[in-house]
Amino acid sequence: MKELLYRLESSPQMGIYCYPSFVSNESLKQKVMNCRHLMYNFFKGTLTSKEHPGPMTDSLLWGSMQALNVNPDELFYGFDSINQFRAWFYSDDLLREFDRIGVTLGCYNLERVIHGNAQACGMLYELKEENIKWRISLNYFLIKGIPETIISRLSS
């Protein structure tokens, strides 16, 4: 049975944590740099906290990766639920800024999702357009009282 992985993307199949040196397209490189700048400003000094652990400091994720003997370089990262995504990206101001520069939330339908306490990941070879279930604007998360049923309808 396939599992869902939610991921913020600066463009299709490109997450917001991508290193600018990996991007050859100049306008996309600028977008990636803008994402990194926004992340730095909003999360100054908190990326190693309980809410924002790196993959190796998320004990459940790291333990699962080791148990499966998976190389972290063979993975792409996201979230196993909308709640997990919002716990990480709790700032409406940050989502508003990401939306302004064209960042979207993508939902991937994958063979395997490795679950962590604060994040999840999938195998890099599954990061392809044919596995995308949907992409939506981050504006949906800025509307007060958006029913969870909208997202569950998209995901079913």
Segment 76-105, tens digit of pLDDT: 999 999 889 988 888 888 888 888 888 899
- pLDDT at residue 19 is higher than 60: no
Q: With the CA atoms of 23, 21, 52 and 5 taken in that order, what torsion angle do they form, in degrees rounded to the nearest 10?
A: 30
Number of domains in the chain: 1
Averaged pLDDT for residues 10-26:
67
Domain, as residue range, for 7: 3-155
Return the DSSP state at 91. -
Confidence (pLDDT) at 3: 94
For residue 79, give the DSSP letter. Answer: B
**Confidence band of 138 (pLDDT split at 50, 70, 90):** confident
What is the Cβ-side half-sphere exposure of residue 45, based on CA atoms within 13 angstroms? 0
Q: Is the pTM of this model over 0.85?
A: no
